[in-house]
Structure 1
Amino acid sequence: MLPSKIQGQSPVKKRSIGRILGWVCAIGAACAASGMLLFTFLFAIVYAQLPDMTEMRSYSPKLPLKIWSSDNQLLAEYGEERRDYVPIDELPKHVKLAILAAEDSDFYEHSGVDLSGIGRALISNILSGHKGQGGSTITMQVARNCFLSSEKSYMRKLYEIAIATKLEHELTKDQILEIYVNQIYLGQRAYGFGSAARTYFGRPLKELSIGEAATLAGLPVAPSAYNPVVNNRRATMRRNYVLGRMAALGFISEQKRQEEQAKPVYVQDAVADAVAGKRSLKIHAEYATELARQLVYDIFKDDAYTRGLNVYLTINSKDQQAAYSAVRSNIASFDKVRGYRGAEGQIRLPASLDEQAKTIKQALHAAASSPNLLPAIVLSTSPSIRAAISNGETVTLDRASNAFAGKFLKAKPDDPTGLRPGALIRVTRTSGGWTLSQIPQVQTGFMAADFRTGAIRALVGGFDYDLNMFNHVTQAWRQPGSSFKPFIYSASLEKGFTPNTILQDSPFYLDAKKNGGQAWSPKNYSGKFEGPMPLHRALEKSQNIPVIRVMNAIGPKYAQEFLARFGFPASRHSPTLSTALGSGTVTIWQMVEAYSIFANGGYRVQPYLIDKIVDESGRTIMTEENREAGDESIRAIPARNAFVMSTLLNDVARRGTAARAGAALGRPDVGAKTGTSNDSNDAWFAGFAGNQVAVGWMGYDQLRSLGSKATGGVLMQPIWISYMQTAVRGQPIYNRMPPGGVEQRAGEWCYSEVSDGTHAESSTPVSSGDDPVSSLLKLF
């Protein structure tokens, strides 16, 4: 029935209205036809201009530089786009179904363009007044991501349709989907689903659950809005939508949908891991990977970041993590004993809870992160310290935190280090809850290598790379203190000394005329003199005066030349008596190389970090060919010298300053030496066990004392022990067989032709060996 007003109209009026409606319909049809003709005309022009798409059959995206451990653990990747390429035949079925459900369920049926979807999007855009929806299929998204900009315009949409049509003609559906899976941006610098799986969940794509696959499938529509790291609530809603679509399409059962929707969306996150008490699985090798990145860039320049190079290091992930953990825990303990230094900064907390949450979020985001040293903002301090560690996540610190904070809880309002609401602090998760902590000021370096081949097994260049990128293994030149004495004793063996030679530990004085205008009267660390003692005993107790007397006897100039055999440049070790006490400067890298010579029979094996480089197709394009122990072309010292010195270092680990290490490892092949520089500015521990040599150092970047009684034996020995207990566990004992020209006397190995108790100088000049200023890093 028509409305009553129309019913009452005359036939003439009815005919007039009919004609008007007819004209409107005719005009509409004409406009539609004209629009279709215009669209067809423009489409034909655009389509004719399109390039050949067949090259997309061999799709080759930008692939980042990836760095792997020797046991195939991913350590780092560098490049603007993180991407793990996933061939279509390796795409897990449940991931594929999640993508289709979320983005384009008719992908395998349509011809690349969903006209009804485009129509709905067009009507929505006209009604809303802005270009929001696009109605894109997977093929159209490939067209947009590979060939077009992100501009939103009707002309760009026309190009998108044209390219999609051509792609459908020249590529198979699987080829198109493979490009999509590897090209699409999914947030957090992750391009493609393979990279996103590792970025968000820390696992390869094939190990993801259906719910996790749905989470990733929900990201392309708006990676920033549905990013589970940024907005877990919205990510959960989007995941549930995708799961619902999968169930509606029959891809999963209703029961599976309910099971997956009931699970929380859990992604890799430092705060979330700490709250859950979960240990991070990340292998911390930042200093090693950065060093490798620099070396690879020197060869390949900018292509290193786009051509999919895979760089395999000599680093062993188990050994690397052992070194990292030992360094972190011992430095944290050292720092805590020295007291709390106060808050890192202050922010003003707004009265409004919403504004307060926003301010806290910004402050925490700006604070540098460090594993298990989470930044936090103090909310209250009584009766216990309560702090926010993320937006909406607060913790209450243990009672020990109040005692540790001490005077800073009562600081004046204008004191920037005071603990009050708004203070920026660090907190650590312990077995008993949460406790107040701080970022240590002291620094360290640690490196271990196979002394037979030079392959580096672990490298820690500092407490935390994100806080201090200076690599203390390769860049820090520090005084080695007593850890340098073995090299002077090694030189003395070639001048007629033996382990049984009696040395005088009595006051030594050098007048100003013989010491460059300044008198010198060195002391032992203990401040006491012990009288006559054999050379081996002087090394075990690390007495200063005996080694100075040895240096004086063999001649500082000769010693300087002999040191070059170990790789120590003459420019950093002057021909003076104080060099015997480690007054020159060395790097940890050099010390590893030098101690390897004692351990491997006298060969100067160069440490190296990169084992091989493989291109994107799996072809090895570079490999390391290092000269190893046994190659006489790299002999540094006589075999019998290395053997005698290794036995002397064994003695130090049995009954000397390194006896704690020998006892802890319980192996006869342990040899080591402690080292402490003047005023305890540097603490060292160097030695070998099994087939590894390891050297560690601790000190402040800005030169100052580590404290009274802060020696290498106290500070670095525990780190060295902790590392070696993991590194050499299960390894066979490394037996060093005595070479020709040595014999045992009074329990010590000596040169056969040299009489005990003498130290006559040899009349034969000693060659300085290899060029002392050798290349620091030898790779290929």
Structure 2
Amino acid sequence: MIMIMKILRFLLPALLGLAALALALGAGLYFYITPQLPSIEALRDVRFQVPLRIYSSDGQLIAEYGEKRRAPVTYEQVPELLVKAFLAAEDDRFFVHPGVDYQGLLRAAFELARTGEKRQGGSTITMQVARNFFLSREKTYLRKLTEIFLALKIERELSKQQILELYLNKIYLGQRAYGVGAAAQIYYGKAIDELTLPQMAMIAGLPKAPSRDNPVSDMLRAEQRRNYVLRRMYTLDYIDAERYRQALVAPISARLHARNSELEAGYVAEMVRAHMVERFGEQAYTEGYQVRTTLDSSRQRAANRALRAALMEYDRRHGYRGHEGLVKLPEAAPAEAAARALTDRSRLAGLVPAVVLALEEQAFTALLKDGREVTVAWEGIEWARPYLSHDRRGKAPTQAADVVEPGAIVRLQELEEGWRLAQLPAIEGALVSLLPDDGAIVALVGGLDYFRSKFNRAVQARRQPGSSFKPFIYSAALDKGFTAATIINDAPVVFDDPGLEAHWRPENYSGRFYGPTRLREALTHSRNLVSIRLLQDIGVRFAIDYVQRFGFQPGQLPANLSLALGSGSVTPLQMARGFAVFANGGYRIEPYFIDRILDGRGETVFEARPPTVCRDCEPEADAELPPVPAADPAVMLADPPGPAPLPRAERVLEPRNSWLMNSLLQDVIKRGTGRRALTLGRGDLRGKTGTTNDQRDAWFCGFTPGLVSIAWVGFDELAPLGRGETGGRAALPMWIDYMQTALEGMPEQRRDPPAGLVTVRIDPVTGLLSPSGQTGAIFETFRQEQVPTRYSRAEASDGEGMDQDNESAEPLF
């Protein structure tokens, strides 16, 4: 006993001294570290890195850009059971301790003393918040002390609920998911309030080792961790025995749920992304911006379908170019070798990669990338005559072996009637559709598939418009004093044009000449020689100045007579802008594709304010309108609008000119090169086909008063499309297919002619007034000051009928 007392008398001062030393050391560290601690005020206004998201006008997700996937939530939005799951896994004394759990620290210290290893950190949720927001993850004693002092400071200045909200939004949970909102979406495709108990426990178990223990990377370890969290919840009386037992046996339902695009519009998404980075810099990817585009999801899907269908139809017309590759199939395990060959091949334009496994006489079996084996019947093979050139195909196949062989890597297309052999078209195309009254782009496709080629042909490809440019020349002629009944001789001619540096002998597409021709008939049937003579009469310089009204720039246009045949350089979007002037009654608009930008708080930071047609804002005056150069199409953005009305689109065409051009372009549909569009069964269609030399570009530019749509087809390398591949054959079907859907629910629109127009009967051969009783006379509309004053001498004429008979055999182009 005496010995014990002596030992105590010796130890007590020593212990007191050590305690005093520890206190002094702690105080010293406190006063050394505390001044260096960051301000907690930053946590009150923390901004999480949230990706850029792009939507259609009706709210469908197009794309998401950003390294971190995050969907911030408030504390009130987090289910109570999910909070308890995290408390059970990470810090069950969270609502009791002051930011530092001394019991946990003592356990960690004991473990360190027992094993010599730092197996337990003793970190509370508050300490994790301190580390995640302000500190590095290095494991040093100084950093740990800083973390402790910072946690105490956080607890003094923030409520427990605020701290938990920060933690649940910041914590990394694997698979690029930051926060519980993102984790619920990525692992289960759900909002947090839709999670089941086992799913909550799975997510709550991730912070310890998110990259290793998540259910996508290692399902077994993730299940073990989930069950540990459930056991802790049961021990802490957060759940009862029955719920615990049910949750333990629940299957692992987690899988990767990337936030999939709801609308395929890769070309527009890239246009938006580039614009956002230009405007906001790299913060565009992290500040949670939401961009609402002008795209209409139904029309965009229709554009995707129409373009692909047209390109694939063209491709089939020109023959099968053969398989994409060949893999040797061993007899022992052919399917395994085939599956390996498909690893790096993806679905493009709806066409599925496959490997041919076996042949029958008129069918073959193929393995798809998803492991399915499918049979392609003869109906899906017989089209595949070998491709020889753009104008020639080989003999029609008689058996499957004439087309494919075992091991061939091919593309298949799934149709309602079964599978069909296909191939990725070598040809490309573009389709753009916009509203003519304000320029809102409702659909845009820049190629067969964005993931095959990111080159956006709708806005980047400058191609020759061919005959689709003629309406702008005809509008200039009307402005110069010509009429729809003006006679121009369609006859052979040789031009010695210095701008062309050679003699030029232009021809009509058919190679025929039709003699004296009214302008209406010349545009209806796309007569090249009439267009050239017309341009010669009005003057090339006048025409170039005039077409600037439609948004074309002089640098895009040749200063010679080939301008009449569309030898300039334009994009499909520029053509859409130009034709919108005809569609809306004579106003120049600016195409735009961003309607609104919201910041991370959901507040509007930018809103489109495009110049908009206002027909009631000005009198329909017959005044001369000078050509006004315009800027290239752009994103029409400005600060959020105040009470001021939208800017008005500028009138650039005199109303009577606009109405007459609509009448001429309507005849192109009714009885000219665009008459296939009559299958739409509408009376308000206008348009113009376009084909360039050697059929290198095929266009159809068409519209109704409420919608302008441009279709283009061509090879990137400017190869010929082939004999007969005119605008009416290669591009018009795409336009028709798209407009069939795009015009659903839109009633036909008709505009009354403006004042100052007069309709009279004329002789179709001379363009003069028709004498009483003349057979074959037709009606034509003129400006009142241009009505013919002389009568034709013909007593009878069937010229119009002859003209139509002659055209019946002319190809559509």
Does the alignment reach a TM-score above 0.5? Answer: yes
1:479-518 mapped onto 2 (5 Å cutoff)? 479-506=464-491, 508-512=492-496, 516-518=500-502
- Give the conservation status (yes or no) of the 8 Å contact 1:193–1:216: yes
Q: CA–CA distance in 2 between the matches of 1:338 and 1:714? A: 13
Counterpart in the other structure of 2:307: 327
Q: Is 1:675 aligned to residue 690 of structure 2?
A: yes
Q: How many residues align?
A: 710
Counterpart in the other structure of 2:292: 312
Q: Give deviations 1:538-565, integer Å, cap 9, x for gaps.
A: 3222232322232233232322222222
Q: Is 1:476 aligned to residue 461 of structure 2?
A: yes
Q: CA–CA distance in 1 between the matches of 2:556 and 2:176? A: 45
Q: CA–CA distance in 2 between the matches of 1:641 and 1:346? A: 60
- 1:446 maps to amino acid: L
- Give the conservation status (yes or no) of the 8 Å contact 2:587–2:650: yes
Q: Aligned-pair distance for 1:349?
A: 10
Aligned CA-pair RMSD:
4.5
Unpaired segments ≥5 residues, structure 2: 388-402, 619-648, 761-777, 791-813
- Give the conservation status (yes or no) of the 8 Å contact 2:202–2:226: yes
Q: Give deviations 1:743-769, integer Å, cap 9, x for gaps.
A: 2233443322224599xxxxxxxxxxx
- Give the conservation status (yes or no) of the 8 Å contact 2:339–2:367: no
Q: Helix, strand or coil for the counterpart of 1:498?
A: coil
Tell me whether 537-546 or 117-126 shows the greater mean CA deviation.
117-126
Counterpart in the other structure of 1:638: 654
Counterpart in the other structure of 2:786: 754
Q: Alpha carbons of 1:681 and 1:170: their partners in 2 closer, same or farther (altered >3 Å)?
A: same
Q: CA–CA distance in 2 between the matches of 1:656 and 1:260? A: 71
Counterpart in the other structure of 2:447: 462
1:564-583 mapped onto 2 (5 Å cutoff)? 564-583=548-567
1:151-170 mapped onto 2 (5 Å cutoff)? 151-153=138-140, 155-170=142-157
Q: Give deviations 1:509-541, integer Å, cap 9, x for gaps.
A: 214467745232223223333444432233222
Give identity over the alignment, percent.
42
Q: Is 1:584 aligned to residue 568 of structure 2?
A: yes
Q: Aligned-pair distance for 1:109?
A: 4.2
Counterpart in the other structure of 1:265: 254
Q: Helix, strand or coil for the counterpart of 2:656?
A: helix
- Give the conservation status (yes or no) of the 8 Å contact 1:54–1:171: no
- Give the conservation status (yes or no) of the 8 Å contact 2:306–2:734: yes
Q: CA–CA distance in 2 between the matches of 1:402 and 1:233? A: 46
Q: CA–CA distance in 2 between the matches of 1:697 and 1:158? A: 67
1:41-440 mapped onto 2 (5 Å cutoff)? 44=30, 46=33, 49-93=36-80, 95-96=82-83, 99-100=86-87, 103-114=90-101, 134=121, 136-153=123-140, 155-199=142-186, 205-206=192-193, 216-226=203-213, 250-251=238-239, 254=243, 257=246, 261-262=250-251, 264-268=253-257, 282-342=262-322, 370=348, 372-373=350-351, 378=355, 380=357, 386-387=366-367, 389=369, 393-399=370-376, 431=416, 437-440=422-425
Counterpart in the other structure of 1:4: none
Q: Aligned-pair distance for 1:469?
A: 1.9
- 1:518 maps to amino acid: A
2:523 pairs, out of 539, 558, 563, with 539
- Give the conservation status (yes or no) of the 8 Å contact 2:230–2:248: no
Q: Give deviations 1:51-73, integer Å, cap 9, x for gaps.
A: 23243122222344333332333
- Give the conservation status (yes or no) of the 8 Å contact 1:672–1:688: yes
Q: CA–CA distance in 2 between the matches of 1:127 and 1:350? A: 59
Q: Is 1:720 aligned to residue 714 of structure 2?
A: no
Q: CA–CA distance in 2 between the matches of 1:468 and 1:736? A: 41
Unpaired segments ≥5 residues, structure 1: 1-15, 271-279, 409-416, 759-780
Q: Alpha carbons of 1:757 and 1:546: their partners in 2 closer, same or farther (altered >3 Å)?
A: farther
Q: Alpha carbons of 1:213 and 1:673: their partners in 2 closer, same or farther (altered >3 Å)?
A: farther
Q: CA–CA distance in 1 between the matches of 2:111 and 2:344? A: 40
Q: Alpha carbons of 1:240 and 1:407: their partners in 2 closer, same or farther (altered >3 Å)?
A: farther
1:443 pairs, out of 428, 449, 452, with 428
Counterpart in the other structure of 2:599: 615
Q: Alpha carbons of 1:365 and 1:626: their partners in 2 closer, same or farther (altered >3 Å)?
A: same
Q: Alpha carbons of 1:117 and 1:556: their partners in 2 closer, same or farther (altered >3 Å)?
A: same
Q: Helix, strand or coil for the counterpart of 2:450?
A: coil
Q: Alpha carbons of 1:505 and 1:642: their partners in 2 closer, same or farther (altered >3 Å)?
A: same
Q: Give deviations 1:332-387, integer Å, cap 9, x for gaps.
A: 4434554554565678999999xx89x978x86765664644566x5955675554
Q: Give deviations 1:480-500, integer Å, cap 9, x for gaps.
A: 111111111111212333223
Q: TM-score if structure 1 supplies the norm length?
A: 0.78
1:525 pairs, out of 489, 509, 512, with 509
Q: CA–CA distance in 2 between the matches of 1:196 and 1:306? A: 17
Counterpart in the other structure of 1:763: none
Q: CA–CA distance in 2 between the matches of 1:334 and 1:651? A: 27
Q: Alpha carbons of 1:244 and 1:489: their partners in 2 closer, same or farther (altered >3 Å)?
A: farther
Q: Helix, strand or coil for the counterpart of 1:753?
A: helix
Q: Alpha carbons of 1:402 and 1:694: their partners in 2 closer, same or farther (altered >3 Å)?
A: closer
Q: Aligned-pair distance for 1:637?
A: 1.6
Q: CA–CA distance in 2 between the matches of 1:225 and 1:580? A: 67
Q: CA–CA distance in 1 between the matches of 2:726 and 2:248? A: 58
Q: Aligned-pair distance for 1:41?
A: 6.4
Q: Aligned-pair distance for 1:476?
A: 0.9
Q: Alpha carbons of 1:197 and 1:103: their partners in 2 closer, same or farther (altered >3 Å)?
A: same
Q: Helix, strand or coil for the counterpart of 1:445?
A: strand
Tell me whether 301-310 or 693-702 shows the greater mean CA deviation.
301-310
- Give the conservation status (yes or no) of the 8 Å contact 1:243–1:257: no
Q: CA–CA distance in 2 between the matches of 1:646 and 1:262? A: 65
- Give the conservation status (yes or no) of the 8 Å contact 1:343–1:419: no
Q: CA–CA distance in 2 between the matches of 1:322 and 1:331? A: 14
Q: Alpha carbons of 1:285 and 1:128: their partners in 2 closer, same or farther (altered >3 Å)?
A: farther
Q: CA–CA distance in 1 between the matches of 2:339 and 2:106? A: 45
- Give the conservation status (yes or no) of the 8 Å contact 1:102–1:218: yes
Q: Alpha carbons of 1:257 and 1:626: their partners in 2 closer, same or farther (altered >3 Å)?
A: same
Counterpart in the other structure of 1:557: 541
Q: CA–CA distance in 2 between the matches of 1:64 and 1:232? A: 28
- Give the conservation status (yes or no) of the 8 Å contact 1:449–1:458: yes
Q: TM-score if structure 2 supplies the norm length?
A: 0.75
Q: Is 1:651 aligned to residue 640 of structure 2?
A: no
Q: Give deviations 1:129-167, integer Å, cap 9, x for gaps.
A: 876764544333322221222334555444434433332
Tell me whether 39-48 or 616-625 shows the greater mean CA deviation.
39-48
Q: Helix, strand or coil for the counterpart of 1:695?
A: strand
